[in-house]
Amino acid sequence: MVSELVLIRDKHRGLKKFFKISLIVVGILILFFLFFLAGFLLSNKKVEVSVANPLGGDIRSNTNQSAAIEQGITKFNKDYIDYILVALGCGNLHKSPLFENPFIELDLDGEIWSSEIIKGQPNTKKGAIDKEDLRVSLSKEEAVKFILSEAPEEFIKDSVSSGGTKIEMIAGKLELFSKGYLEMYTELTGEEINLDNI
């Protein structure tokens, strides 16, 4: 009869313990990330941004439409871009918890403008950027008609559907979704973005 206590060690005991601890840590990190992401997305409400129409006064009062458009094209500046971006819905855009602020590039007859959206406000400058999320291409004439329009939101939807304005998504769907672009894109184009392949 054996009176001594015999210990039998499981040779995989250390490995099993490591996997259990790793699984718990990963699970906790995933929960924190999901809570953070949900809180961030739910707390970001549309920012009301208002920009004065840059074609106010003498240009808008011009009864000759083609002369008003020509005058608008010759005076084209940063304020035009800001007005267009606000009308496109940049107030819906926000900084992502995973990525940087939203960046939009506009190509107007080969003249490139870029804008960083900070808390719904466009920060626009002339020139290209390397990290744009979205590229909008249209002619200066189309941009001025857009600004002169009584209903700019409807004008841009019609322009996108007729091909006068092109909207190209550059960043990945996850980044666009986390910055608020997909709702804006759907409103402008009428196309639903499939998020299943993120």
Residue predicted with more confidence, 118 or 188? 118
pLDDT of 33: 82
pLDDT of 181: 81
pLDDT in tens, 6-38: 556 666 777 888 889 999 999 999 987 876 666
Length of the chain: 198
HEC-encoded secondary structure of 91-106: HHCCCCCCCCCCEEEE
Token digits for 66? 């083609």
Instruction: Kindly provide the b/e burial profile for residues 114-153, where b requires at least 16 CB atoms within 10 angstroms of the residue's own CB.
Output: bbbbeebbbebeeeeeeebbbbbbbbbbbbbbbbbeeebe
Nearest to residue 148, comparing CAs of 50, 49, 71, 48?
71
pLDDT of 26: 93
Could you tell me the pTM of the whole model?
0.69
pLDDT in tens, 76-102: 888 888 888 888 888 888 887 778 889
Instruction: Give CA–CA dist 192/92, Å, rounded.
Output: 17
pLDDT in tens, 127-186: 988 889 889 999 988 888 888 888 877 888 888 888 888 888 888 888 888 888 877 777
CB–CB of 150/143 below 8 Å?
no
pLDDT of 63: 63
pLDDT of 55: 67
Instruction: Give CA–CA dist 72/157, Å, rounded.
Output: 21
pLDDT of 112: 93
